[in-house]
Amino acid sequence: MSRLTLCLIARDEEQMLPACLASVRGVVDRIVAADTGSTDKTRAILHAAGAEVFDFAWRDDFAAARNAVLERVHDGHVLVLDADERLAGGAGRVLRAALKSGSKRELDCGLLPLHHASTLDASEADVLSGRKRLVEPVLLPRLLRRAKDLRWEGVVHENVGTWLARPGRAIRTLDAPIVHYGAVPEWRAARGKRERNLALLEARCAAEPEDPTPRAYLVNELLRIGERARARSEIERALELARAARARGVPLDPTHVLTLHAYTLLTSGELDAASASLDLARDWQCKHPNFDFLTGALLEHRASAAARTDAGRPDAGRPGAELLERAALHLERALAAHSTLWPAETLPGATSFAAALRLGQVRLAQLRTQEALAAFDRVLAEQPDNTQARLGRIEALIAGGHPDRALGELEPLLASAGADGWLVAAWAARELGQTADARAFSETAARLAPNGAPRSARWARVARALAAAA
């Protein structure tokens, strides 16, 4: 059986490190760690676990640190973990089985699913089930054969992409989950990860001006801090670089770039440009649920725009019926991909709560109330406090002939549901024959609605229902 070495880099990780090391006990044969300047008990914890620890002067380059660890490993396979990660229970058995001697072909790379915990106290079971997970898991190359030419690249979001792209690599997906606690928002803030990553990404983009990948990661960070104008400019540049790389025959998975390009345009209201971006993803044969989710969202936006234009016109029929049906098809495809793992990151909720929420809104617009209820209940099973899903469920109850139940569920929400919530209450009251209450609720909704702001799709739907009942 191939010898397995845990390779990690750490600095001031006394809080997270013990759980990481405990998770690999009995799994790895050796631990090699670079300490990049700890002032806490990190080194002592590593020594107590039998690790070989050496000092590495930090120079704002994650790849350099990882390569320094690799230089101390000369054979077998390496398992790469960060101190804020841990192997899930049972993952070790999967790894050891994959490395057993006698296999027909030596494994070069094992792709392991990485699950991001949403809270520091989340149990492994809650993270793996999705109950306390930030986003869908992503496949990452974390089990690697220690070949002589194995090298990490990139000062941040480092990767072994060049090594993996060489012909003949034996790559397998392994059911050996990693649970990551370092993405919990308060932990990221306390450790200054956002500022650090932003600075390193700026440096990497400058050092690798022809590579679209670091620029896409930079766009991620810019969107997180609300710098949308610059994000818009950088994602256009990333797409230009992706086109150029393809023209040169450079191996490139454009999923990340095209996802962010379409997402940035769609959330900026540039629907035609977003549609063109999604068309390009299809032309480039990108297979990922992100594109079904974004296409469904785009079509639902267009159908909602048609509904807002015709709101209050009883003779308008159901605007955008064909758009809604196509939207539902794409959103159902995205949801069907929920149990599939992908090397490129999935947009938050693209195969779960976000897709189900949009599908529920589509089914409401189609007056398919039972299917809408099922979609909203799927969201609420994952996010019980999701106000939009709760309001959607209430709408479905009213449309399905249960306004009394709807009002009961709506009452606790009215203080925080805003104008839409009060308009939904007016609809329920109207259906119950409570005309005076309906009028009062409608007036409250109108008073709370922002002046000059575009009305929501929900407002348009409910306004149509009220007009029809008048």
179 and 234 in a single domain? The answer is no
Question: Residue 440's domain is classified under what CATH number?
Answer: 1.25.40.10
Dihedrals phi, psi of 87, to nearest 5 degrees: -70, 135
Residue 310 confidence (pLDDT): 55
130 and 253 in a single domain? The answer is no
301 and 388 in a single domain? The answer is yes
Question: Residue 118's domain is classified under what CATH number?
Answer: 3.90.550.10
In a domain, 305, yes or no: yes
What is the SS3 assignment for 300-368?
Answer: HHHHHHHHHHHCCCHHHCCCCHHHHHHHHHHHHHHHHCCCCCCCCCCCCCCCCHHHHHHHHHHHHHCCC
Question: Residue with structure tokens 């609720």?
Answer: 441
Burial state string for 395-404 with b = 16 or more CB within 10 A and e = fewer than 16: bbbbbbebbe
345 and 444 in a single domain? The answer is yes
In a domain, 184, yes or no: yes
CB 299 within 8 A of CB 355: no
- Cα–Cα distance, 345 to 135 (Å, whole number): 9
Strands 109-116 and 178-180 come out as parallel
| Total-model pTM | 0.86
In a domain, 39, yes or no: yes
Instruction: Say how many domains are in the chain.
Output: 3
262 and 311 in a single domain? The answer is no
Determine the length of the chain.
470
270 and 178 in a single domain? The answer is no
Residue 32 confidence (pLDDT): 98
Query: And the tokens for 195?
Result: 């500022």
- Alpha-carbon radius of gyration of the chain: 26
Dihedrals phi, psi of 4, to nearest 5 degrees: -115, 125
User: Domain range holding 28?
Assistant: 4-188
Query: And the tokens for 194?
Result: 């956002």
For residue 2, count other CB atoms closer than 10 A to its CB.
Answer: 18
Dihedrals phi, psi of 350, to nearest 5 degrees: -65, -25
Which of 268, 258, 266, 265 minimizes the C-alpha distance to 238? 258
Helices 353-365 and 289-310, interaxial angle, to 10°?
30
Dihedrals phi, psi of 33, to nearest 5 degrees: -135, 140
Dihedrals phi, psi of 220, to nearest 5 degrees: -55, -50
pLDDT means per 10 residues, the chain with 470 residues, are 93 97 97 97 97 96 97 96 97 94 73 96 95 91 96 94 90 96 94 92 94 94 93 96 94 93 95 97 95 97 76 52 95 94 91 96 94 96 91 94 93 87 92 90 87 73 77
- SS3 at position 124: helix
HSE toward the beta carbon, residue 43, CA cutoff 13 A: 11
137 and 160 in a single domain? The answer is yes
In a domain, 419, yes or no: yes
In a domain, 200, yes or no: no
In a domain, 204, yes or no: no
CB 12 within 8 A of CB 85: no
Question: Please, what is the end-to-end C-alpha distance for the chain in angstroms?
Answer: 77
Tell me which of 130, 157, 188 is where a domain ends.
188
Residue 103 confidence (pLDDT): 53
- SS3 at position 31: strand
- Cα–Cα distance, 395 to 461 (Å, whole number): 9
Tell me which of 286, 308, 330 is where a domain ends.
286
CB 444 within 8 A of CB 417: no
- Cα–Cα distance, 427 to 317 (Å, whole number): 19
The set of residues, in sequence order, having a beta carbon less than 8 Å from that of 47 and lying 6+ positions away, is 53
Question: Residue with structure tokens 């070069």?
Answer: 108
411 and 448 in a single domain? The answer is yes
29 and 128 in a single domain? The answer is yes
- Cα–Cα distance, 463 to 244 (Å, whole number): 49
Tell me which of 260, 286, 312 is where a domain ends.
286
Query: And the tokens for 324?
Result: 């809604």
In a domain, 32, yes or no: yes
In a domain, 167, yes or no: yes
Which of 177, 159, 182 minimizes the C-alpha distance to 114? 177
- SS3 at position 433: coil
Residue 91 confidence (pLDDT): 97
Query: And the tokens for 304?
Result: 């909602």
236 and 126 in a single domain? The answer is no
The set of residues, in sequence order, having a beta carbon less than 8 Å from that of 35 and lying 6+ positions away, is 9, 10, 11, 42, 43, 46, 53, 54, 55, 56
- SS3 at position 54: strand
279 and 294 in a single domain? The answer is no
Chain center to CA of 56: 33
Helices 387-399 and 353-365, interaxial angle, to 10°?
30
